[in-house]
Amino acid sequence: MPGIVAGKVAIVTGAGRGIGRGIALLMAQEGASVVVCDIGASLQGAGGDNGPADEVVGAIKAKGGKAVATTLSITEPKNAEAIVKLALETFGRVDILVNNAGILRDVIFHKMSHSDWSDVINVHLNGSFNMSRAVAGIFREQGSGSYVHMTSTSGLVGNFSQANYMAAKLGIMGLSRGIALDMARFKVRSNCIAPFAWTRMIDSIPEPKDEKEKRRLAAFQQMTPEKIAPLAVYLGSEQAAAVSGQIFAVRNNEIYLFNQPRPIATMHEPKGWTAAGVAEKFDGEFKTKLTPLERSMDVFHWDPR
């Protein structure tokens, strides 16, 4: 039986390790030819290594699949275009783009440097734009295509010391929605996934001593990167042809559909507002409806199932 993306060509960024690796491998298993993009940098974005991308390509080919590696950085628009050109020259088409590559520079906001900010934005948000723009014309001409972007509950909800990462990931949500709206007429889809996975981005958490925390840590370690892949592959397939502009999350064996910002309350003053008038009525209309300063773990407070 042919795979769910048989005959398609997928570009997966950050595909040398973790979530991207899992997605690339399952794309190939489900019949797609895969362009494996990974510069092999550290978690903070330093250095480079051909090894991770080459290893994934080797694993795909060992099982009879088709893949090619590239270590070009997606932060440069010309590199994004070169990656797409590689896909076309190697496999003849492009059908799916998975924007997964990213780095971390976690710093409390009042100590965050300009480079901490710009480097994270450049990889996550600018890199996603560069790759998305590079395939947009192809998707438009062929009248089909699927974007799958990785957002994060750190952006959708919040987290400490991640203002740069939060801004980038929430920006990706907006990018995805904009692509979905602009390219719907060409039958091109764009969706986001907020992945929960035990990867090198979180495996530096100190070993807990409390038994309850040890059990909780063990539960979190069950959220392997490979568990993100089935939803990503589904969204790239024609079976998801009617799904676009949406935000999902994967948490172990759970898949969530997120709501999106919409008005939840209003107050009106026919004569126009004064500051004193706003102060007088604000609490009565809005106080109980304000969104609390929660972090992702406050919202997803139960163990992954």
- The string over 251-281, giving b where at least 16 C-beta atoms fall within 10 Å of a residue's C-beta and e elsewhere, is bbeeeeeeeeeeeeeeeeeeeeeeeeeeeee
CA distance 190 to 150: 11
Inter-CA distances, 39 with 60, 87, 101, 127, 281, Å: 18, 17, 9, 13, 54
Secondary-structure percent of the chain, ordered helix, strand, coil, rounded to 5: 45, 15, 40
Residue 256, helix vs strand vs coil? strand
Select which of 147, 165, 234, 256 is catalytic: 165
Token pair of 250 as six digits: 């994967």
CA distance 207 to 116: 27
Q: Is residue 165 annotated as part of the catalytic site, yes or no?
A: yes
CA distance 253 to 251: 6
Q: What is the dihedral of CA 206, 105, 25, 296, to 10 degrees?
A: 70
Report which of 47, 50, 44 is spatially closest to residue 16, judged by C-alpha positions: 50
Q: Are the beta carbons of 94 and 135 closer than 8 angstroms? A: yes
Token pair of 113 as six digits: 């440097």
Strands 33-37 vs 9-13: parallel, antiparallel or unpaired:
parallel
Token pair of 12 as six digits: 């997966």
CA distance 273 to 297: 38
Q: Which residues have a catalytic role annotated?
A: 165
